[in-house]
Amino acid sequence: MERRTEPGWVCGVSFGVVPLAGMASTRFPAADLQMERRLLIAIFLCFIVLYTYNTFLAPPPPKPPASSSTKTPATAATPAPQAQASPSAAQPVAPPEPAGPAVATVVGETTERQLVVQTQTVEVVFTNRGARVLHWRLKDYRDDNGEPVDLVPSSVATDQQTPFALRLDDAMLTSRVNGALFRVTGDAGGRVDARTKAADLAFEYQDASGLQTRKDFRFDPANYIVIVSASVKNGAQPLNPTIVWGPGLGDLGAVAAGGSMFTGNAIQPPEAIFQRGAKEERVALANLASQPNPEAQFRFAGIDDHYFIATAVNPGQARLEYRSADLQVGGAPRPFVWYGIRVAGQPRNVRFYVGPKKFDTLQSVDAQLVRAINFGIFSWLVIPLLSALKWLHAYIGNYGASIIALTVLINVVMFPLRHKTVVSMRKMQEVQPLVKAIQDRYADLKMTDPAKQKMNTEVMNLYREKGVNPAAGCIPMLLTMPVLWAFYSLLSQSIELRGADFGLWIHDLSQHDPYYITPILMGATMLWQQWMTPSTGDPTQRQMMLVMPFVFTGMFLRLPSGLAIYYLVSNVFQIGQQYFTNWLIGPPPAQAPRPPAERRLKSAGTGRTAGAEKRS
């Protein structure tokens, strides 16, 4: 005896969407629709299981080999770096010690000192030893101690390669350049004020052997741009240096205010990023050793993490160098990305952007730089949603309240689609007894029996007679899914929500709810929606869908609270819409199934089965 199947509710509650009618097309036989529905549910549940595993249970990626760690002693012997060295070769981050005797300084200073550059957005601390950056602090972004975020890792020793160090093909020259005490011009008592107008800072060094080095930095007062030029000569021979950023970015705690990385893959660790051609490319830290050092015409090239980026903008033809580096953070080794760039010829007015991945700021620097924000495949929809959120915030002044307002506006726009969904679901509910009566008449037939096709024909005729389209319930949901995913990308990637205070117990919308109140309420509203689903569908299928609110609640416990607020408000709005639509269209009319028609199947023919024999 074949198992009897019934039309059920297929789409269920997914991301706060109301229960929908069975997804099918009137072109397919009704008996096959059930198999398709169950397959869709199985795929959906598999997706949830895999997502939950990757988010909460998957082990962290393997750490890079210790050979690339910055813990290598500074006195270790270091081979001379080659311009075309293999990227997989272990190269210490620390510059090599001088291999020869000390050389007398011709142009330079006798004591090491620090210089502080102040702009409206950053505080940059230089050392005249090697003319390198020790700190790059962002004034508008805070770490877990309430201090400005520093995009230079704190555990990089001052005698190692920090931002804007130079690396030459000769290891001895590299060490001499980065260890020399440069003469500084452009400062006033160790301070440079670039808060109201652009300011220049110059470093010069020359020794008795003929080694000459000059670095020039120009700071813009209102953005995160520094323009870098470098000139290196060994006697009369010009040398082409690699500009080194070193390991970065920050101490990993900089990616989220509060310094704690919430569980799962919601936070992007440091990785390589560059654009050659029409699309940006990303290389995860674990894959750096297997990737060749890229060389091309770049629109931008650097390293980034979830919220911040350090990149050369429009460097032209250049060769990039990436490798992994371990630094001690909080008493434990953490992986970072070591980054260097060598442009064609000596660097002249190379623009570097070092700051937040804020859409408007990136766009003002270069239109293509906004690709550094990983909005995903729905970026075309995320951008207008982000603009709407910022527009609301300009009036409301609170990003949490702005999320609620935008959620309500989105649901108002979706109201007609969801209304159509509920109406279609009601029509399917009304014809359910009639469909079941048809199925009962053919329950004893095998699926391979040609007479089974008559059942499918009767069901399709019934749908046509009642004006029911089984696919009409899921089509509106498919149209709203891009909006839901786009909003997810918006809330999880936008730096505007980093450290944004909602009030009450939520003080950072980019981190999870500390008391898990919003995700629990969100799960409760999802469960409420499930109980509102008509019970005429397949009971097994209904039980499966009742599990979904608990699965989603578990996932949202560690996701940003801004997301939980969005889905909670969306669920509440849709519950209200469901009650309103039910009141508008009224209760479903009572349907009495038609008495089974007396049919006798012909005893002749090759398609005759035991069930048909019984009927005859």
Grade residue 43 by pLDDT with cuts at 50, 70 and 90: low
Q: Which of 163, 176, 29, 36 is nearest to 95 (CA)?
A: 176
Polymer length of the chain: 616
Give the whole-angstrom CA distance, residue 336 versus residue 70. 10
> pTM of the entire structure?
0.74
Residue 58 has pLDDT above 70, yes or no: no
With a CB cutoff of 8 Å and minimum separation 6, the contacts of 287 are none
- Read off the pLDDT band of 199 (50, 70, 90): very high
Confidence of residue 544 (pLDDT cuts 50, 70, 90): low
Cis amide bond preceding 252, omega within 30: no
Q: What is the mean pLDDT of residues 169-181?
A: 92
pLDDT at residue 325, rounded to an integer: 85
Task: Tell me the pLDDT tens digit for each residue of 436-485.
Answer: 888 888 877 777 777 777 888 888 888 888 777 776 666 666 767 788 78
Greatest mean pLDDT among 99-108, 341-350, 597-606: 341-350
Q: How confident is the model at residue 116 (pLDDT cuts 50, 70, 90)?
A: very high
List, for residues 354-381, the tens digit of each pLDDT value: 999 999 999 999 999 999 998 888 888 9
Side chain identity at residue 425, one-letter code:
M
pLDDT-derived band at 491, boundaries 50, 70, 90:
confident
Distance (Å) of CA 73 to CA 65, 96, 252, 323, 332: 16, 10, 23, 18, 18
With a cut of 70, say whether residue 334 has pLDDT above it: yes
Q: What phi, psi does 15 have (nearest 5°)?
A: 55, 40
- Whether residue 600 contacts residue 616, with contact meaning beta carbons closer than 8 Å, is answered with yes
- Least trusted range by pLDDT, from 50-54, 321-325, 451-455, 603-607: 603-607
Which domains are seen in the chain, by residue range?
30-57+391-585 (no CATH), 68-78+93-374 (2.70.98.90)
Tokens 């199934």 sit on residue? 593
